[in-house]
Amino acid sequence: MYTVHSTVVVPEDKIDEVIHIYQNRSKLVDEFEGFVSFQLLQNEQHPAELTVEICWESKEDYLQYITSKEYKKVHELEKNYPDQNLASIRPKVSRYRQVAT
C-alpha cells in the first residue's frame, strides 16, 4: 500500500467552500489502475487544515497516475478555479509506504 497526503491551510471563510469542492470532485482518479481510496480529512484542532489522502496499491500505480492525462486534467481544473486565493494555495505533499498492518 502506498499513501499520499496533500495538506493545505485555507482561509477560515473558505473552509466550507473547499470541502464542498472535494465532495463534488471529478472522481477521475477513482477509475485509475491501482487506486484504493480517497478521503478528505479535516484537522480537529485546526479546522482550516485539510488533507487529501489517496491510497494506492503500489508506488508504481501512483507514479503512473501522476504522469497521466487524467492527473493533468484534474490539476488544470484546479489552476482555473475562479477564486484566485484558493487557486494559489500550494499543498504540502507527503508520501508513505505501508510497512506494517
Summarize the confidence of residues 16-23 as an average pLDDT.
Answer: 91
How is residue 81 annotated by DSSP?
-
* Cα 80 to Cα 10: distance, rounded to the nearest angstrom: 17
pLDDT digits (tens, 9 = 90+) for 25-43: 888 899 999 999 999 999 9
- Is residue 1 within 8 Å of residue 56, measured between CB atoms? yes
Can you give the CATH number for the domain in which 14 is found? 3.30.70.100
* Cα 7 to Cα 49: distance, rounded to the nearest angstrom: 7
Q: How many domains does the chain have?
A: 1
* Cα 9 to Cα 93: distance, rounded to the nearest angstrom: 12
Structural domain of 20 = 2-97
Which of the residue ranges 5-9, 26-30, 74-78, 86-90 has the most confident prediction, judged by mean pLDDT? 5-9
Prediction pTM value: 0.87
